[in-house]
Amino acid sequence: MNIIDIAKTVLLIEADAIHGLINRLDDNFEKAIEIIYHSKGRVVVTGMGKSGLVGKKIAATLASTGTPAFFMHPAEASHGDLGMVTSDDVIVAISNSGETDEIIALIPFLKRFDVSLIAMTGNSASTLARAGNVNIDISVEEEACTLGVVPTASTTATLAMGDALAVALLKKRGFRQEDFARFHPRGSLGKKLFVRVKDLMHSGDLLPLIKPEASIADALIEISTKRLGVAVVTDADNTVLGIVTDGDVRRGIEKWGKSFFDRQISEVMSESPKLISEDELAAKALGIMEKHSITSLVVAGQDRRALGVVHLHDVLKQGIA
């Protein structure tokens, strides 16, 4: 058997292992969801070896989808880490055999303090399965390892079952995209949903402002000094009247030559600049700029008074795309 055939065999065995879980989903899975959903505490996932590594991922997925969770190493648990567990918590204990010594050693403590125990095992007759409030069957027909002993298909099945738990809880809680973003403020989704125009706009002394009676030279100085490529034209009350861009200046010089500099801003400004509220998402600002092929938006209040300018580069720098 060549390398590609071996890889295909592994993937087929692991796919079959996950597919085999579907028909074994039963009341125990629903009971597990209800236990976690009604818990006043956290989900404490524990497992030894490869099961522990999978358990860490399951805990992380639960935590990021609205179910407070963390991983507890079973060996460390018996040496003090059980102090992190309260009677309001739920233990999800993972052991393919259901007889892992470090996991079994935790059972007396869990029973004494009436901590809910959800077992995830490949052996429904095991000590762990019998001790649990419920047992979720994660058994597989075979491992993908050619030796038949290395945890491969079994850990894949366990991981998939953990995802099933997390997503079922996510739906039951009515968890939204905005909630996910709240737990991922530095992720791309978090940035798209939480970064506002006011977080990125140039305002105050950094805002390029000129009056309509100003000269082209004044506009050039303001554009160059503030380095945003635009100058916002406002009246005495700071109401937005228009905008002048460095592109407008270049086109004006091409059209009128030196006489261009004798004109007033009111003659060359764009009178209908694109405006955006400071409370809008930065992602929306990006969409407007892309749609109209512009690099800056004037930020204004409902009274059209200038508040700032948001530039394309500032949005992209945040990783919003």
Is residue 120 within 8 A of residue 29, CB to CB? The reply is no
44 vs 62: CA distance, rounded Å: 10
pLDDT tens digits for 235-258? 888 899 989 888 888 888 888 787
pLDDT at 10 over 60: yes
As given in the structure block, the two tokens for residue 2 are: 């060549």
Whether 137 is covered by a domain: the verdict is yes
Contacts of 301 (CB under 8 A, 6+ apart): 277, 278, 307
258 & 204 share domain: yes
pTM beyond 0.75: no
The CATH number linked to 299 is 3.10.580.10
pLDDT at 272 over 80: yes
Q: What is the pLDDT of residue 138?
A: 96
Q: What is the pLDDT of residue 123?
A: 95
Per the structure, the complete domain to which residue 129 belongs is given by: 3-175
58 & 138 share domain: yes
HSE-CB of 130 using CA atoms within 13 angstroms: 5
The CATH number linked to 157 is 3.40.50.10490
Buried b (16+ CB within 10 A) or exposed e, 67-106: bebbbbbbeebeeeebeebeeebbbbbbbbebebebbbeb
Is residue 190 within 8 A of residue 184, CB to CB? The reply is yes
112 & 207 share domain: no
Is residue 68 within 8 A of residue 60, CB to CB? The reply is no
Q: What is the pLDDT of residue 125?
A: 96
Mean pLDDT (the chain, rounded): 88
HSE-CB of 222 using CA atoms within 13 angstroms: 22
% of the chain beyond a pLDDT of 90: 49
3-class SS shares of the chain: helix, strand, coil, % to 5:
50, 20, 30
Residue among 304, 289, 301 nearest 229 (CA) = 289
At how many degrees (to 10) do helices 246-256 and 216-226 cross? 150
Query: Is pLDDT larger for residue 281 or for residue 176?
Result: 281
Q: What is the pLDDT of residue 313?
A: 87
Whether 192 is covered by a domain: the verdict is no
34 & 170 share domain: yes
Residue among 186, 184, 136 nearest 161 (CA) = 136
State the DSSP code for 149. -
Q: How many domains does the chain have?
A: 2
First to last CA, the chain: 45
Last residue of a domain, one of 140, 175, 210: 175
Lowest average pLDDT, out of 54-63, 75-84, 113-122, 256-265, goes to 256-265
Q: Which residue has the tokens 């762990």?
A: 128
pLDDT tens digits for 114-173? 999 999 999 999 999 999 999 999 999 999 987 777 889 999 999 999 999 999 998 888
As given in the structure block, the two tokens for residue 152 are: 């491969």
pLDDT at 177 over 80: no
